[in-house]
Amino acid sequence: MAEVTVKEKCYHCGEDCIDKTLYFDDRAFCCQGCQTVYEILNGSDLCQYYDLEKNPGIQLKTPARQEKYAYLDNEDIISKLYDFQDGTLRKVTFYVPTIHCSSCIWLLENLYKLREGILHSSVNFLKKQVSITFEENKVKLRQVVELLAAVGYAPEISLAQNKKGTKKKDHSLAIKIGLAGFCFGNTMLLSLPEYLDTDFSLAEDFRAFFGYINLILALPVFLYAASDYFVSAWKGIRHRFINIDVPIALGILALFGRSAYEIISTTGPGYMDSLTGLVFFLLIGKWYQSKTYQALSYDRDYASYFPIAVTKVKGDEEQSLPLKDLQVGDRIIIRNQELIPADAILIKGEANIDYSFVTGESVPVSKNSGEQLYAGGRQVGSTLTVEVQKPVANSYLTELWNQEVFDKQRQSRLNSLVDVVSKYFTIAVILISLGTAT
C-alpha cells in the first residue's frame, strides 16, 4: 500500500506548505512572509486574530518590500491623501482589497496596539476601506502604510484618491418616497370603510370627514412628491418633445382633479389612495433605476489604476516624483508587479511584461534592452530601469481609453431607442384617453 504524505498547513494563511515548512513558536508556516506577520502579532499580544477565524491571513511569499512606499515622504503627495489634518492630527482612508473576514476587521481596528501614534482606526467592510487617525509627530504616513503592508493588508494607493468626490448626496428622492409612503398608508386606512361599506350605510359626516383628511394627505404627494414628473413633462412639451413623463403627469393630474372634485362636491370618496399609491410605487421604481444605473456606471479613468508617484533615477540617486511631474526623458524604476505609467524604452533589467490590462492577454511578454514598453503593462520579475518616451496623458493606453467607445457623454443606442418608442407610446396613450373621454 502506497504511503501518503500529508502536507502541513500554514498556521497563518491555511495554504499547504509545498516548498518548505518554517517553524516558529511550535507552529508551521508556508513562507517567510506569513511567519513575519505572526511574529509581529505575537510580539504585540494580538494573536486573538487567529481565534476569530481559522487561518484568516493572506499568503505572503516574501515580507513586504518597504522601499516602494518611499514616495510617501513627499509632502506634496501625502497632503493630497489626507481626509483631515489639524495640527499634528491626521486622518486618512485607504482601500484595502484583502479585507475578507472578521479577523481582518479586528486586527485593523487594533492597529493602535502595533504602533504608537495611531489613535484610532475603523473599517468599512462593504467598501473594503480602513480609516486611520494618527499623530503625525509620532508616526509618519509612510510608517502607517508600511505597517499595513507588513501585516498583509497593503492598501491600494492611486491617483483616484486625489479625485475624491465632493458632491453631496441628494436625499430628495428618499424624502419623497418616505412622504408618499406615509400618505399612501394612511389614505389606504382611511379609505378602508369605503371598500367594506357595500350598502353605503356609512354616515355622511364620517364619509366627508375621511374624504377631506385624504385630500389633505394627498396634497403634499401631488405638489411635492410627484413634482419631478410635472417638471419633466413641461420641459418636454416646451421643447416640442413628448417624453414618457407626459402621460404619467396627465394621469396624476386627472386622478387628483377627479378625486378632489368628488370629495369637495360630496359626490364620491375619490381615489386619493390610488393616487398616493401610484406616486409611491413610481418613486420606488425611480429609486431602483438610479441604483441600477449607479451599479452599471463606469466612471473611472486610466489615472485610477496608475501609481500616485514613481521613483526617478538621477545619477546614483533615487527620488520619489509625483506622476503628474513625470517628463519625457526621465528615467524611472519599475519594480515587480508595478504598472508602467507612460510609454518608455527599456534601459536596464529583464522585462517580463503582463499587458492584460491593455490587451486582455495575460501571458507575459519578454522585452530586451532598447525595446518599447507601453503604459499599462505590469512588470513581473526583477526591477527595471526605463526612459520615458511620451507624457502620461499621451501614452498608448490613454489613447485607447479616450476612444469614442469610452465617452461617458455619448448617448447609448438603447437610450435613443427608448426616446423614440416612448414618443409614439405617449401619443397612442393620449389618443386612447381622448377617445375614451369622448
Give the cell for residue 411.
448617448
Residue 411 has phi, psi (to 5 degrees) of -75, 135
Cα–Cα distances (Å) from 235 to 245, 287, 435, in that order, read 10, 21, 26
**pLDDT of the residue at 252:** 92
Question: Is 74 within 8 Å of 322 (Cβ atoms)?
Answer: yes
Whose cell is 403627469? That residue is 249
State the CATH class of domain 304-404.
mainly beta
The helix (H) or strand (E) run that includes residue 236 is helix 227-238
pLDDT at 407 over 60: no
**pLDDT of the residue at 257:** 92
pLDDT at 398 over 70: no
**pLDDT of the residue at 99:** 86
Coil, strand, or helix at residue 387? strand
Q: What angle do CA 161, 376, 355 make, to 5 degrees?
A: 140
Residue 389 has phi, psi (to 5 degrees) of -105, -30
pLDDT at 401 over 70: no
**pLDDT of the residue at 166:** 46
CA–CA gap between residue 281 and residue 273 (Å, rounded): 12
Confidence band for 6, pLDDT divided at 50, 70 and 90 = low
Stretch among 41-50, 143-152, 214-223, 377-386 having the lowest mean pLDDT = 41-50
Sheet (strand 351-354) strand order: 365-367, 351-354, 378-379
CA–CA gap between residue 375 and residue 397 (Å, rounded): 6
**pLDDT of the residue at 1:** 39
**pLDDT of the residue at 276:** 93
Tell me the average pLDDT across 7-34.
82
**pLDDT of the residue at 177:** 93
The percent of residues above 90 in pLDDT, for the chain, comes to 16
Domain boundaries, the chain: 7-63, 69-157, 172-298, 304-404
Whose cell is 484583502? That residue is 98
Tell me the average pLDDT across 376-401.
78
pLDDT in tens, 322-339: 877 888 888 988 888 888
Coil, strand, or helix at residue 207? helix
The helix (H) or strand (E) run that includes residue 86 is strand 82-86
pLDDT in tens, 120-145: 999 988 888 899 999 999 999 989 99
CA–CA gap between residue 77 and residue 94 (Å, rounded): 15
pLDDT in tens, 288-317: 888 876 665 555 555 666 777 788 888 778
pLDDT at 222 over 90: yes
413 against 83, higher pLDDT: 83
Give me the chain's average pLDDT, please: 80
pTM above 0.75, yes or no: no
**pLDDT of the residue at 161:** 52
Question: Is 226 within 8 Å of 253 (Cβ atoms)?
Answer: no
**pLDDT of the residue at 57:** 77
One-letter identity of residue 426: T
The helix (H) or strand (E) run that includes residue 292 is helix 272-296
- DSSP states of 175-206: HHHHHHHHHHHHHHHHHHHHHH-TT--S-HHH
280 against 71, higher pLDDT: 280
Whose cell is 414618457? That residue is 244
Coil, strand, or helix at residue 72? helix
Tell me the average pLDDT across 222-244.
85
pLDDT at 162 over 60: no
99 against 423, higher pLDDT: 99
Tell me the average pLDDT across 267-296.
85
**pLDDT of the residue at 431:** 85
Q: Which of 148, 96, 149, 155 is nearest to 126 (CA)?
A: 96
The segment with the largest mean pLDDT, out of 200-214, 289-303, 304-318, 371-385, is 371-385
State the CATH class of domain 69-157.
alpha beta
- DSSP states of 401-421: HTSGGG-TTSPPHHHHHHHHH
Tell me the average pLDDT across 52-73.
72
Tell me the average pLDDT across 361-388.
86
Q: Which of 96, 94, 90 is nearest to 133 (CA)?
A: 90
Tell me the average pLDDT across 356-371.
80
**pLDDT of the residue at 406:** 47
CA–CA gap between residue 116 and residue 371 (Å, rounded): 47
pLDDT at 348 over 80: yes
Cβ contacts of 379 within 8 Å, gap of 6 or more:
334, 335, 336, 337, 338, 340, 351, 352, 353, 354
